[in-house]
Chain A
């Protein structure tokens, strides 16, 4: 029987070498994929993905299953590592339209085997339905860690407008998903 994500994380925290290997094997494509999406450069993405696993190992005991799945927790770490790397390199910010195209146009590799595939497709559709300016603001903050202030500068809009775009996008997507759920 296949070990659960939580069991592997517990094994990782306890220093179990087999659990560590299984944990990396299970999540490496997702962690590396997210790092590559943000950093756009394979070498930097590999460094970031390795660092994300290292931080997950060091802080495994902080994972709280009530606050979300192991995958979400791990990808949250990977996102932060990749954003730090972007800031450290002072790299040109990725064009949010390119980012959106990468994330929204490419689906999961093998939908039949991927848990949560339908939920992710609905989320993609809700993101596609956003007005372009709100979608850009949401991608800049969710994937690149840009603050409202930075988005204001990048998009050449007032701070208040940037804040409104972020919030409106989030509420709109949430409402779309809520309607689809029948809430």
Chain B
């Protein structure tokens, strides 16, 4: 426990320490004191919580289109090749079958991997395709809200399905070189929509579904290579 004089001196500095603008010496002085002085410690904790709350008042602002994609790419550790190789053989085949029968739900039956791979190749060959991918659509809170199925072929196309009603009525693609490509307006009849892409699917890095005001309400990211 410090003396009254110590406490008085420290109380003169707690606000600056809480706001992160005290110099090193003052900060050390305060932190050293509060180890043994519960009253000053409580004040410092109170003011630190208040300082944290002050910056939460800053208004939200929609970042530029493509921000999410660029940021997420920077956060991903390098994937292990082995893991990426094993998943597609089963998961992609199941997704391809589901999409081509337009059920929009993945009916995954237990099958032999080799047979599935054969069906997968046959499905792709229908339109000279080489790959098919299913990626999660996420809402503004980051929760999974649907799925985007993307087919690379001639032509490339995509089908999106959403889990519940959505205000999405437009789509915009962000390409790997940072361009944005608008797709025609649509309605999510039966909570799904699909169409031909005006570019090779492998050039697509992100799919944004926008509401009538142009705000991105759902987004899906495609991996760098697939």
Contact = CB atoms under 8 A, between A and B. Distances in A.
A94 interface: no
Interface stretch (B14-22, B105-113, B156-164): B14-22
Given A29-B63, A53-B71, A68-B49, A2 B57 contact: no
Given A12-B75, A30-B60, A46-B63, A22 B55 contact: no
B112 to A, nearest CB: 28
B62 interface: yes
B75 A54 contact: yes
A43 to B, nearest CB: 9
B177 interface: no
Interface in A151-173: 163, 166-167, 169-171, 173
Contacts, number: 167
B177 to A, nearest CB: 17
A40 to B, nearest CB: 11
A25 B74 contact: no
Interface stretch (B124-132, B137-145, B146-154): B137-145
Contact of B70 (A3, A50, A76): A50
B23 interface: yes
Nearest to A147: B21
Contacts of A167: 12, 14-16
A143 to B, nearest CB: 7
Residue picked from A29, A38, A54, A107, most chain B C-beta under 10 Å: A29
B55 A142 contact: yes
A37 B139 CA distance: 25
A176 B52 CA distance: 17
Interface in A87-112: 102-104, 106-109
A47 to B, nearest CB: 10
Contact of A80 (B20, B49, B68): B20
Nearest to A43: B64
A63 interface: no
Majority-rule SS of A interface residues:
helix
A49 B71 CA distance: 9
Given A68-B52, A145-B20, A173-B50, A21 B221 contact: yes
A71 interface: yes
Given A29-B63, A33-B61, A50-B67, A163 B16 contact: yes
Given A142-B51, A170-B15, A26 B58 contact: no
A58 to B, nearest CB: 9
A136 interface: no
Interface of A: 2-3, 8, 12, 15, 17-18, 20-26, 28-30, 32-34, 36-38, 42, 46, 49-50, 53-54, 57, 68, 71-72, 75-76, 78-80, 102-104, 106-109, 116, 119-120, 123-124, 127, 138, 141-143, 145-148, 163, 166-167, 169-171, 173-174, 177
Given A29-B62, A75-B52, 10 more contacts: A2-B143, A15-B77, A21-B138, A29-B140, A46-B64, A119-B53, A123-B54, A142-B55, A143-B54, A143-B58
